[in-house]
Amino acid sequence: MQTPAGTLALKVGGPTQLMLERVGGSCYPIHPLWLRERCRDAASMDLKTQQRLADPSDIDLDVKIVALAQPAPGSFRIKFSDGHEALFSAADILEEAALAPNSHDCPAPQLWDGTLGELPRARWRADPSEAERLSWLQAFLTLGFVIFEGVPTQPGSVLKVGAMFGFTRETNFGALFDVRSTPNATDLAYTSVSLDPHTDNPYRAPVPGIQLLHCLVNETSGGLSTLVDGFAVAESLRAHDPAAFAVLANTPVRFKYIDAHAELTASAPPIELDVTGALKSIHFSPRLDFVPLFPPETLDTYFRARRQFDQRLRAPDFEIRFLLGAGDLVMFDNCRLLHGRTGFDPSEGLRHLQGCYIDIDGPRSLYRVLRRCGAQHGSLRRSA
């Protein structure tokens, strides 16, 4: 049996061997223990929760396949040396074998830069079809953001939009926060100055994964929202200056926030990788970062690398700008994208946004559930 893409196939390698074949590539026997711990019968797992009933580390490390049969096309009956016997679906084995080690079985990111002409925009509907939700999620998961238009401008609406995709991450700023210029601001976000690209709350553990910003009023001509794909910038740095990339991926930086009621601190490298070396998260906020006191030569290389990264992040080559008008809401991946805004003149009028955070895994979970239900996604309008 082959996967739809035709890149993987299962074949019987002998009376006690099942082989995985990568078309045009490698072919190897599937480890018996890998199969044994995937038995999906009622003796091995709770069929309702699909959770194992026993610890797989207790399975004999030398477990073997002692009999292999194909009762029907696309299924295998396997008997193991510990006496257990189970039926396997070839489709299930291939589906899991097709996953890359760091795959989240969701649409892969499509990196973008300042030439991204058409922005993912959608008309907000409080009761969307499954196809609409899937198209919103597709845009969010690939590009890292989506802009909704026509979100009711009643205060608190941002929480309703967030609830469509995940669970609100309440912080010391509350369930939602207001972004407008105020006297005696505790954060520069609450002034009218321009904000360079940054990720929010790198001082928090865990970092809020997704941010939503909803414009209730904007009577100013400035205050454009800016977004930068941090993954695209990081990959550009990896390609052009691998040494700088390596320094930023391996230097823990301490981030700190302090006000009258909270003192938050967390450490993370500016470019966080997963165990395969793929990009996992960007932590970057030049107003809040404090590198530890390493020896001078180490700091020399760090400061040079940080400058390289920062200059790329602020370059117009990577940035997109757009105006959030009343009723517009942007939802973006705070682990991948950096956001900012241009300055504005508060004497022109009001500019009032409300924001909230939701956890990073909400949209991915919803995407999988909708796909499992068989929803087909429609098309999303893309416009500048």
Site residues (vs Fe ion, CB under 5 A) = 200
For residue 92, the SS3 value is: helix
Closest approach, Cβ 270 to Fe ion, in A, equals 16
Identify which of residues 43 and 258 has a Cβ nearer to Fe ion in the complex. Answer: 258
* Closer residue to Fe ion in complex, CB, 308/334: 334
Smallest distance, Fe ion to C-beta of residue 134, A: 28
Of the pair 200, 319, the CB lying nearest Fe ion is at 200
Output the 3-class SS for 263-312.
EEEEEECCEEECCCCCEEEECCCCCCEECCCCCHHHHHHHHHHHHHHHHH
CB nearer Fe ion, residue 302 or residue 357: 357
In whole angstroms, the minimum distance from the beta carbon of 266 to Fe ion comes to 16
Beta-carbon neighbour count of residue 35 at 10 Å? 18
What is the closest distance, in whole angstroms, from the C-beta atom of residue 199 to Fe ion in the complex?
8
Question: To the nearest whole angstrom, how small is the minimum distance from the Cβ of residue 308 to Fe ion?
Answer: 23
In this structure, how many other beta carbons lie within 10 angstroms of the beta carbon of residue 120?
22
CB contact at 8 A, 227 and 147:
no
- Least distance to Fe ion, CB of residue 28, Å: 48
- In the complex, what is the shortest distance from the CB of residue 98 to Fe ion, in angstroms, rounded to a whole number? 37
Alpha-carbon distance of 298 to 301, in angstroms, equals: 5
User: What is the nearest approach in angstroms of Fe ion to the Cβ of residue 206?
Assistant: 17
CA distances 376 to 132, 133, 344, Å, are 9, 10, 42
- How far is residue 309's CA from residue 315's CA, in Å, rounded to a whole number? 10
Q: Would you tell me the crossing angle of helices 230-240 and 296-314 to the nearest 10 degrees?
A: 130
The nearest distance, CB 286 to Fe ion, in angstroms, is: 12
Nearest to 210 by CA among 358, 354, 107: 358
Which residue lies nearer to Fe ion by CB, 249 or 330?
Answer: 330
Cis peptide before 183 (omega within 30 of 0): no
Nearest residue (CB) to Fe ion, 39 versus 337: 337
Hey, what are 182's tokens? 């105020």
Q: Tell me whether residue 135 or residue 285 sits nearer to Fe ion (CB atom).
A: 285
Nearer to Fe ion, 21 or 190 (CB): 190
Phi and psi angles of residue 318, each rounded to the nearest 5 degrees, phi first? -105, -10
Closest distance of CB 133 from Fe ion, Å? 26
First-to-last C-alpha distance (Å) of the chain? 45
Phi and psi at 202, nearest 5°, equal -65, -10
H or E element, residue 253: strand 253-258
Instruction: Give whichever of 32 and 340 is closer to Fe ion, judged by the CB atom.
Output: 340
Q: How far is CA 216 from the centre of its chain?
A: 27
**Would you say 187 or 348 has its CB closer to Fe ion?**
187
Element (H, E) at 218: strand 210-218
| C-beta nearest to Fe ion: residue | 200
